[in-house]
Amino acid sequence: MQKNNDEKRKKIRLGQDLLETVIPRPGRRVLITGAGSDLLHTAGTLQAIDEENFSAVVALDGPDGGKGTGRKLNIDYEDICKYEEGCEGGDGE
């Protein structure tokens, strides 16, 4: 018997102390997720990691659509995540 999508999906609640920030290696794609950022949902390429300041240098995608060819910003770890292109969908949860 095959399970439907509702039966396959499970939600769990984790405390902040159980989570760990994982930053992709330089050269990988990232998405800006910082809630207060005017760049929310902007993609870019991770250029460098600044371990001392818990931040990363991200080259934003250029206005011409070039990946990682735009301006470079130093962004806190907690405001970026790994970005897999083609996975934009989702159901808002």
Q: Which residues contact 62 (CB under 8 A, 6 or more apart)?
A: 68, 69, 70
Residue with tokens 């907690």: 78
**Is 0.85 topped by the overall pTM?**
no
Which residues make beta-bridge pairs with 31?
Answer: 43, 81
pLDDT tens digits along 20-74: 777 899 999 999 988 666 888 889 999 999 999 999 999 998 877 778 788 899 9
pLDDT tens digits along 64-89: 777 878 889 999 998 999 988 776 54
Question: Whole-angstrom Cα distance, residue 68 to residue 48?
Answer: 12
- Domain definitions of the chain by residue range: 21-82
Q: Assign 10 a pLDDT band (cuts: 50, 70, 90).
A: confident
Q: Given this structure, which CATH class describes domain 21-82?
A: mainly beta
CA max distance for the chain: 52
